[in-house]
């Protein structure tokens, strides 16, 4: 999945593998367990892990499965 977003005033591409069910939002966590909770208890700017597979602030700042690239 790729979405063009504004990240700290810069246009970037937020990309991920779309496997939200495996996203913990904890950089230290790793990928040992295949299924993460729907709400892992991490938030960014009032945004939680998305349940609709649409990128939000949580994806850019918390998700260990996402990457930010220059446009």
As a whole number of angstroms, the distance between CA 14 and CA 44 comes to 15
pTM of the prediction?
A: 0.84
According to the model, what pLDDT value does residue 47 have?
95
Average pLDDT of the residues in 5-33? 86
According to the model, what pLDDT value does residue 26 have?
81
The per-residue pLDDT for range 42-64, each reduced to its tens digit, is: 999 999 999 999 999 999 999 99
34 band by pLDDT with thresholds 50, 70 and 90 = confident
Q: Is residue 31 predicted with pLDDT exceeding 80?
A: no
Q: Where are the alpha helices (DSSP H) in 19-70?
A: 57-61
Largest distance between two CA atoms of the chain: 35
């Amino acid at each position: 999945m790729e979405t063009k977003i504004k990240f700290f005033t810069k246009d970037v591409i937020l990309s991920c593998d779309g496997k939200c069910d495996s996203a913990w939002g904890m950089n230290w966590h790793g990928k040992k367990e295949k299924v993460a909770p729907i709400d892992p208890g991490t938030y960014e700017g009032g945004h939680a892990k998305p349940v609709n597979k649409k990128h939000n602030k949580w994806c850019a700042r918390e998700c260990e499965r996402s990457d930010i690239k220059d446009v």
